[in-house]
Structure 1
Amino acid sequence: MVAMTFVADRRGRVPFAFIGAVLLLTSSLYAASVAPPATTEPIVDEVGSDAQIEARLALDTAIRDADRAAAAEPVLEPSPRGLGRALPENDTFEHALELRIAGAAETALQEAEAGRAGVKATVSLPPVRDHESARAALERVSIEPVTADRYRVTIRDLRVTVTRHDRPIDRFRYNETITMELPSLSLHDRTSRYEERLNAGLAQPGLARDLTARLFPIVWARGYAQYGGAPIQNVLANRHVELMANDAAVAQQAAVFGQADPAGRRGVSVAAMDVATRDAFTGAEEMLKSQVSKPRGDQKGAGEVEGSPSVSLPSVVDNEQSVDANHTADEAFLDYVAGHDGPGLESTVDDVYRADVRVETRSRPIDTERVAAEPPPSNGTYLGRTLHTDEWLADGHWESGHGSTLRTYEGQVIEERRVTKWWVQNGSLALTEAVDHTTHAVELTLSCRYQPPGIAPDRPDDRCPFGAEVREQLAEDGSDRLLSGSALSNRAQAAVDGDGESGWEPIDLDPPETVRNRAQRETGELRRAVRDISVSVETRSVASSTNPARKLRKAIAARRGALLETPASYDSAADRAVAATRQTYLDRLTDRLGDRTPKVQQAQAAFSDQLQSHAIPSEPPERSTPTRAPYVAGVDTGPAYLSADPPSATDPSIDVRNVNLFTVPYGDAADAVTEQVEGVGSREVTLRTAAQTLAAVDSRDSVSGREVRALRREVEGSVASATARYRSVLEAELGSHEADRVVTTATNRYPDTASRALAITDGRLARAIGDSLPAGVPSHERDRLRVALRVAGTEIQSESEVQVSQDLVEEARVAVESGSNPVVSETAKAAGEKVGTAAWEKATDSSVTKLPAGLPLLPMPGSWYATANAWTVSVRGSYEQVSVRTRRAAPGSAENGTVKYVREDSPVRLDLDRDGHPDRLGSNRAIDFEAQTGVVIVVPPGKTGVGDRGGDAIEESPGW
């Protein structure tokens, strides 16, 4: 036995340190249990309450001081260094105010204390010394709005320390909430809204809208004066834009603040006098003055400008005319069938032919065979047992379904349950087994669910409204998706346990070709019904509210139910597909009517597209009105009036740019506009004009010569280009050989080049080709080809391949006029003199300045509707300083009891740690603005039209 010493023996030993800790804890618990609880002296509570009252008064003053400081130096952008790192980029001003409140509160609380009988209580906040403590301070201060101009300020974690003879006897924390006005927030909100209005687009109230409302009457007054013969070179000049932009900016002040800078109003009035003096026609001064300083109603341009009786403004022509949707209906139909510019007929039908499938399972046991286990071995010791279960699909077959059931699989699943028991007998391992075989009848149902795609009116449907062909396709695709391969066996086995079902799976189907053909055929019938609809419209400006396309849309909408003829219920998905294609086509047609009108409206529609592409409103919007609940006592802006041409390049200014869209004039005859609409190059005329001239030449046997032969060759080339286009329309369906035969046969009905060209321009050749289509073309495709030929015949006339040299037409006209009879002479004269010298949308040829300005518009072929013009206007500017003062007094504030909010470019610093070196908090920002708008005018036909004739389509201020 080995001897064991005390040092070596470590069994059962406990460290002395642990014993000491246990004794100390035990004694503390005992002392706490026997000692009575400390009593709170009434004086302690009273002094603490007094300190909180003092603290609340100090916090009230601190919040107001912080509010005034925040207004005087608003923080709009946080600094990336210093204290600014604590400020988030969103709502920077509000968070900067909270940080100011935290810092001011900490300072103010240093004087917040109360005491009596040797007991003193103080209230404090953690100091703010760096950006980390600033972030913590932001967590302690929050501001919530209560009413429009009152806020709830909550300061958290205020710390009260109660001492007796400088020895702490109590500490606690609390939160303080004060509800009060915060003028800085109210002024910041209003000033931010003012800035937003200065930069708002035309869709929102603001500078752009008010500038537009002011420019419309000026353009209409000066434009009509120019139309009447006044020597006006620029209808809209930058001096007008500068003046009205300043006045519109002043109007935003009144709309937001209820007040406007008086110096700004005076500046606008002085500038209006100066601009009126420069405008060289009687009544300019009164007209300009009527546009500034007060809201007015819309000025449409009819009658006389208010306050300007010396300037007579003729009314826009108000004759009525009939407008139909023929060309637009054809274009929309072709694009829909082809799938251009949006969903097509085929994709619409495809969207209808979709369904969801899923697998539903059922199971029931039908037979069980049991094989009992052998008796256990004698003298055996039971060790345990194991259980093994196996399943397999033994047999099954498919059955066709009906209704929402596509097909059903009926089969049997065998479930084998084997129980093995283990024994030990005389040192050897033995086992016994019991086996149960259960046969389950399982049923897997492939179900269909149809969910309407929302592109046709809702009507009752079967759950699976497809024909036999599509149902079989759906069953095959659904089986491949959910029951192919091992999925069948797995779902059948899972059914035994009440599982194996699937969620709904979408299946895209292939519609039968007969459905697509039927949909196209019945949509074509709807197109023909729409072509029979026409409306009467007054002849007026594209910028007016009476837009023919709009009236057509309204007329079609009124007849929508009768046009669509949607059945009360759908017998099949095919019925729904037809209804969907008709509705989608009608929707596409009505959408297109705004910018794609029939041939008789092409000029108006093209001009409307120009307005839309340049964001020019067609009518003047409503002007802003001053708010009726003013909160602001005064507004001061520096400078009060923004000049587009300041005395010094460093002076604040407003930059102005206006662009006249249609400065180059056009031909001086009735159907010149038609030719321009159909597409005319700078030295070319339309096929229509060339054909009219050639027809006049051919009517005179005595007229011949080089110029006539050259004209005939060029017209023949144009006819060849046009007939080639007709062939391309037919080739996909007929093949190139048959398409050539059909076009040639129809063209040969016209004996000469001139008659063929005229047949192209008036659509007779397209109709003749459509009538010559082979009998074997299906009816729905025959209808589509006829529509395509009509549309091609219209579109081809605006393409350069069929246009003819203006010089050749002029030379032929001279030859015809020499010694011709009056009828022939008039025909040739019309063909020559009515030719414009510039493209309708790309008029830039300065050699035609002697012709009228503006854009001719066409209500119907051969008739000049009106002349229009438009300007785009852009302004941008900046106020060096904007200051806004409250109307209500704030205790202890300067400026006669008001709070002043100032916006300017300047850094903002704050000395929160009181080390005498203010830290960069962020930046204030001056108010900058940009606005874009436009103006449109229409004058009656004839005379000189309307537009800028100074030679500069683009007028820019020096700062632009």
Structure 2
Amino acid sequence: MVGVNDRARIPFALAGVLLLVSSATLSGALGGVTPIREPATEAAFDEAETELGGLLRDATRHAAREAAANPVVTPANTTLGRALAAQDDPFRAALELRVYLALRERLAVTRADGVRVNASLPPLSTRAHLRRALDRVHVEQAGPNGTAVRVRVDDVTLTASRGDRIVERTTVSPSVVVASPVLLLHERTTRYDRRLDADATRPGLARRTTARLYALAWTRGLAQYGGAPIANVVANRHVAVATNSALLAEQRAVFGAADGAAARATGTAATRTAGTDLLVGTGASSEEATALIEVADTATPGSTVDPLAVSGESVGTNDTLRVGVNRTADEAFRRFTDGRLASVLDGVYRTTAERRVEVVERSVDARGRTAPAGEGWTLTATSRSRDVSVAGRVTPESDPPGRWHTLSADGRRVAETVTTVRRWSRGNETTRTTRTVRRAYRVSITVVGRHDGGQAPARPVSPVHNAGTGALDGPNLAGVETIATDELVADDGGVDALARRAVTDGVETRRVAVDGQQPPDLRAWVYRDLVALRERIRAVSVTVERGAVGTYRVDPAGRLAAKLRERRASFVDPPARYDGVAARARVAARAAYVDAVIGRLEARAADNRDAGERFDDALADHGLSRERLGALLSARRAAGDANSHPTGDVGRYDLAVNGAPAYLSLSDVPRRATDATGTGSYRPLAARNVNVFTAPYGDVADGVVGELFGKRRTRPRTAALALRATNRLATTTTDEQLDDRRDELRRAVTGAVTRRRTRFRRVLRAAGVGSSTTDRKRVVATGLSRWNSPAARALAMANGSAADAVAEVAVRQYPDAFASVEARDTLRLELRAAAAGGGVSQSVVEANTRVTRRVAREAAKRAAERAGDAALDRVERRLGRSLARVPAGLPVTPVPAYWYVTTNVWLVEASGAYDRFAVRVRDGGTGRALEYVRDGDPVRIDWNGDGVGERAGRASEVDLSLRTAVVVVVPPGGQGVGDTDGNADERSSGWDERNSKALNMPSRTAVHVPRTRLRSRDAHGRGAVRRARI
């Protein structure tokens, strides 16, 4: 039995444990009490944090100067370089690392009231340490214009101690804003560097260079077309000046300022380029031309062009071109009047007549039995007889529908009696039944006619069938009714016979064409009207951009055809009612002629489209297309002028740009010019330009325009121009090969002229001129007497003036043969057609041109060696003009004697680099200068404290690479436009070594010249060591 006092007994030890645990639980639930820092320690920490902010500012300024002087742009393949590359921006990452290292180096001990506070950051020795250090530091642009930097360093450890005892340890993350535009300088320089490599259709160097080259090339090209002694429209010296001028504009756009030394150097280079244009264009070297620069511009006005003077929009770059129907109207007119006009007039006077017969049953009377009465009869035989007779005359009542009208109408009443006799049998019995059916018909026989009027719009014609009234008082279509009725009715038996046949067998519908009599003076009257219309159509024109025409992006012929279709009604001009058939014939001739011109234009438009596709093929060989050329034409208008505004405000800072060398030239530059301790030399710029269509008879041009003059033939006009250039050169120099080639070309041109003389005589014979070949030879000789050389006569035949001169002589000497306007006009058109077509052997022209260029260059060099005013005068007046007169360019949509424009394309590429590019600004914090430098040197940073700087990367050079194309378009005729010095693919020295891929590769990446020696910096930024680049 258990006692009561035993049940609730609890050991005292257990009670003590419970009380202890309950006390601890309550204390945890209510929270602990923050220990109170003693005043001396608090003061020491405050002092340490204040000093830490100042140290961070100083470290940031130091790091900014180091980062600007040795920017890490391209990370190296090292532990440090890979760590920087893993960040968004290697330059900013390197700046953050420099801040970390500079701050750690500056951290010091502070004391206050016996308490010492030590600030510390962990040392770096491993990749993990390096990553954590980069994660601790945060750098970003600050300030209203981004001209300051905000820096925060996380988890700086502060350790407070008194004597040897640590009192307390804590971490802080100081943050400061420092007035240093280091990030701004890097961002602007990076933007500048990128714009130097931007596509030519995007804002940047290539687009600005394109604008300058366009203006210069158009100015020089038009000058060459006008006769100035320019043999090389676009040269690499022009590319260099245009590129450097565009670099200045880019500096102003990006930095708000340009390199002053570069501006002066570019101006000097432009002046010297203008002075060398003449002699270099004729083949002299730059050194030979230098001696003549002083007098070149005054001796050859118009032959030199200052590249900077035309750097903006200039004449021609936005020119519009008015393209008229012009000779197409003449060609269509000659073809139309030769054959089609007669058929048009015949068609208007032709009536389509049709015989129509209508049979209407009017009554039926049937008598007699068809079978005997009773059952059982069998039909044994049947006989039938028919009698058809004309019972009287009737008049048809209905009018024909549509455009038909009645020429004659007649009718008959026709009676038809059909008697049927049937024989029957039944056993021995036979019988016969007779059935008589009498029918009465009304038969209408109508001859209807239709006057289609050819292509004349449908209008009422009055009078039609009455002679002696209306225009020309002509016969109109009088008598057509009688002729049609006779042919369709009388010749087919007459009305009675047709009426009987219509009832018995039916009469088919039949048509005939009846030609009415034309007035004797109808053709002359219509011809004079068409001549006036031809002149109106000749004057129709459309306005197009010259550059678009020259790149086959606009089809003038197609636009002209569309415009004529729009205005067709006004040219045809039909009246509300034709005053007789002659008036309708005149309008039909107008309509047919307008349609003939439209057809010719549409055929030329088709030729233009085909030529445009072949033009694309020629451009594709160089990585271009019509669309690309169009984009470049449009983009260069947006390039702006050289005084572009900066892309962003830089506040109170004035940026100073300094490129070394100041002017990126095509020749070698001594390294001491860019670095006082440098040795050797390097070439800042390389350029190449390719003239696509050097000659209108070359393989590329032939591939575009097709074999218009036969296989391997060229236009007589082109051959004549080449002969004229050779003749001019032959007066100044003696060369046996030149004489031989000139004689060969003269014989070829003379042969072409002789063949056209023969054609002229055939035209004159057909026109009734003279009674013998001698008479016609005399007429041709008299007409051509004003041109005293084979070249001059060939050019006169090409431009139509020779045909007009021969026509004038023929009309004057044989007026009776050309009494009418048509006779005179036809003679002129036929002679012009006889002057077109045919060609001269292309090989003869090419051989002559090659020798001409060689002799001209050699003569120019000899004259330059004498380097006197007299020598210059001879070069300018004779040799330079000889080469400049060699024909060049691509005729756009040519026909044998006419084309819209002459075009040419230059593909331009340049690549280069600054040896040193710096942007300098006053440091807002200390008053010291902050200079951001891109010089290609390797950058080293001692990040682990071992005393050896590890390669972080490279301060990559500011380089450029541009690729563009320039199109120049000049009017037809003249010498055309293009490089005529024989150097279609011009490459500056060292181009092939610097650029491993050809210009015609669209994806080519420029490879710049590696420098043989470079400057290296130690971990502290001191430039002393020279190493070879690998």
Partner of 2:58: 61
* Secondary structure of residue in 2 paired with 1:205: coil
* Secondary structure of residue in 2 paired with 1:908: strand
| Structure 2 residue corresponding to 1:154, chosen from 134, 147, 152 | 152
Partner of 2:986: 955
Whether the 8 Å CA contact 1:86–1:132 is kept in 2: the answer is: no
1:244-263 alignment runs, 5 A limit: 244-263=242-261
Q: Please, which moves more after superposition, 542-551 or 205-214?
A: 542-551
Once the two structures are TM-superposed, the CA of residue 240 in structure 1 deviates from its matched residue by 1.1
Whether the 8 Å CA contact 1:537–1:548 is kept in 2: the answer is: no
Once the two structures are TM-superposed, the CA of residue 626 in structure 1 deviates from its matched residue by 3.2
Cα deviation 1:15-57 (Å, max 9, x = unaligned): xxxxxxx9xx999979999998743323322321221111111
Gap change, CA 1:320 and 1:549, over 3 Å in 2:
same
Partner of 2:542: 537
- Whichever residue aligns with residue 296 of structure 1, its letter is G
| Structure 2 residue corresponding to 1:300, chosen from 287, 301, 316 | 316
Whether the 8 Å CA contact 1:114–1:122 is kept in 2: the answer is: yes
Partner of 1:390: none
| Structure 1 residue corresponding to 2:645, chosen from 627, 633, 636 | 627
Once the two structures are TM-superposed, the CA of residue 880 in structure 1 deviates from its matched residue by 0.6
1:658-697 alignment runs, 5 A limit: 658-666=689-697, 677-679=705-707, 683-684=711-712
Q: Say yes or no: does 1:87 pair with 2:92.
A: no
* Secondary structure of residue in 2 paired with 1:230: coil
| Structure 1 residue corresponding to 2:167, chosen from 166, 169, 176 | 169
Q: Distance in 2 between matches of 1:36 and 1:209?
A: 71
1:13-52 alignment runs, 5 A limit: 38-52=35-49
Q: What are structure 2's unaligned runs of at least 5 residues?
A: 1-16, 279-295, 329-539, 563-603, 671-679, 716-747, 767-779, 781-830, 854-884, 992-1030
Q: Distance in 1 between matches of 2:847 and 2:24?
A: 101
Once the two structures are TM-superposed, the CA of residue 925 in structure 1 deviates from its matched residue by 1.3
Q: Say yes or no: does 1:613 pair with 2:625.
A: yes
Q: Please, which moves more after superposition, 871-880 or 78-87?
A: 78-87
Cα deviation 1:577-636 (Å, max 9, x = unaligned): xxxxxxxxxxxxxxxxxxx96435554675577665284433543335433545443111
1:895-914 alignment runs, 5 A limit: 897-914=928-945
RMSD: 4.8
Gap change, CA 1:901 and 1:855, over 3 Å in 2:
same
Once the two structures are TM-superposed, the CA of residue 952 in structure 1 deviates from its matched residue by 1.4
Whether the 8 Å CA contact 2:212–2:242 is kept in 1: the answer is: yes
Once the two structures are TM-superposed, the CA of residue 217 in structure 1 deviates from its matched residue by 2.1
Gap change, CA 1:124 and 1:837, over 3 Å in 2:
same
Cα deviation 1:777-804 (Å, max 9, x = unaligned): xxxxxxxxxxxxxxxxxxxxxxxxxxxx
Q: Please, which moves more after superposition, 853-862 or 211-220?
A: 853-862
1:482-493 alignment runs, 5 A limit: none
Whether the 8 Å CA contact 1:666–1:856 is kept in 2: the answer is: no
Partner of 1:790: none
- Whichever residue aligns with residue 943 of structure 1, its letter is G
Gap change, CA 1:551 and 1:925, over 3 Å in 2:
farther
Gap change, CA 1:204 and 1:316, over 3 Å in 2:
closer
Partner of 2:273: 275
Gap change, CA 1:215 and 1:44, over 3 Å in 2:
same
* Secondary structure of residue in 2 paired with 1:876: strand
Partner of 1:360: none
Partner of 2:889: 854
Q: Say yes or no: does 1:651 pair with 2:682.
A: yes
* Secondary structure of residue in 2 paired with 1:49: helix
Once the two structures are TM-superposed, the CA of residue 151 in structure 1 deviates from its matched residue by 3.5
Whether the 8 Å CA contact 2:47–2:110 is kept in 1: the answer is: yes
Q: Distance in 2 between matches of 1:195 and 1:215?
A: 21
Once the two structures are TM-superposed, the CA of residue 848 in structure 1 deviates from its matched residue by 11
Q: Say yes or no: does 1:124 pair with 2:146.
A: no
Gap change, CA 1:134 and 1:623, over 3 Å in 2:
same
1:514-533 alignment runs, 5 A limit: none
Whether the 8 Å CA contact 2:71–2:955 is kept in 1: the answer is: yes
| Structure 2 residue corresponding to 1:641, chosen from 648, 655, 663 | 663
* Secondary structure of residue in 2 paired with 1:538: strand
Q: Say yes or no: does 1:114 pair with 2:110.
A: yes
Partner of 2:865: none
Whether the 8 Å CA contact 2:936–2:957 is kept in 1: the answer is: yes
Partner of 2:497: none
Q: Say yes or no: does 1:318 pair with 2:322.
A: yes
1:693-708 alignment runs, 5 A limit: none
Cα deviation 1:257-316 (Å, max 9, x = unaligned): 1121111111111111211111237588999886539973444268xxxxxxxxxxxx87
Once the two structures are TM-superposed, the CA of residue 819 in structure 1 deviates from its matched residue by 6.5
| Identity level (%) | 35
Gap change, CA 1:659 and 1:235, over 3 Å in 2:
same
Partner of 1:359: none
| Structure 1 residue corresponding to 2:963, chosen from 920, 929, 932 | 932
Q: Distance in 2 between matches of 1:293 and 1:654?
A: 22
Cα deviation 1:224-280 (Å, max 9, x = unaligned): 221122222111111111121122122211211112111111111111121111123
Once the two structures are TM-superposed, the CA of residue 84 in structure 1 deviates from its matched residue by 2.5
Q: Distance in 1 between matches of 2:120 and 2:691?
A: 67
- Whichever residue aligns with residue 541 of structure 1, its letter is R
* Secondary structure of residue in 2 paired with 1:204: coil
Q: Distance in 2 between matches of 1:551 and 1:49?
A: 87
1:679-758 alignment runs, 5 A limit: 679=707, 683-684=711-712
Q: Number of residue pairs matched?
A: 549
Q: Distance in 1 between matches of 2:172 and 2:560?
A: 67
Gap change, CA 1:61 and 1:831, over 3 Å in 2:
same
Q: Distance in 1 between matches of 2:152 and 2:559?
A: 58
* Secondary structure of residue in 1 paired with 2:664: coil
Cα deviation 1:314-342 (Å, max 9, x = unaligned): x8752445999xxxxxxxxxxxxxxxxxx
Q: Distance in 2 between matches of 1:142 and 1:844?
A: 73
Gap change, CA 1:676 and 1:926, over 3 Å in 2:
closer
Gap change, CA 1:676 and 1:287, over 3 Å in 2:
closer
Once the two structures are TM-superposed, the CA of residue 861 in structure 1 deviates from its matched residue by 9.1
Q: Distance in 2 between matches of 1:675 and 1:547?
A: 18
Whether the 8 Å CA contact 1:865–1:941 is kept in 2: the answer is: yes
Whether the 8 Å CA contact 1:675–1:835 is kept in 2: the answer is: no
Q: Distance in 2 between matches of 1:51 and 1:551?
A: 86
Once the two structures are TM-superposed, the CA of residue 123 in structure 1 deviates from its matched residue by 2.2
Cα deviation 1:347-404 (Å, max 9, x = unaligned): xxxxxxxxxxxxxxxxxxxxxxxxxxxxxxxxxxxxxxxxxxxxxxxxxxxxxxxxxx
Whether the 8 Å CA contact 1:878–1:928 is kept in 2: the answer is: yes
- Whichever residue aligns with residue 318 of structure 1, its letter is R
Gap change, CA 1:682 and 1:817, over 3 Å in 2:
closer
- Whichever residue aligns with residue 645 of structure 2, its letter is T
Whether the 8 Å CA contact 2:228–2:303 is kept in 1: the answer is: no
Gap change, CA 1:174 and 1:844, over 3 Å in 2:
farther
Partner of 2:68: 71
Q: Distance in 1 between matches of 2:187 and 2:90?
A: 12
* Secondary structure of residue in 2 paired with 1:902: strand
Whether the 8 Å CA contact 2:244–2:266 is kept in 1: the answer is: yes
Partner of 2:349: none
| Structure 2 residue corresponding to 1:878, chosen from 913, 924, 929 | 913
Q: Distance in 2 between matches of 1:59 and 1:190?
A: 25
Gap change, CA 1:544 and 1:168, over 3 Å in 2:
farther
Q: Distance in 1 between matches of 2:559 and 2:837?
A: 38
1:418-433 alignment runs, 5 A limit: none
Q: Please, which moves more after superposition, 120-129 or 143-152?
A: 143-152
Once the two structures are TM-superposed, the CA of residue 172 in structure 1 deviates from its matched residue by 1.7
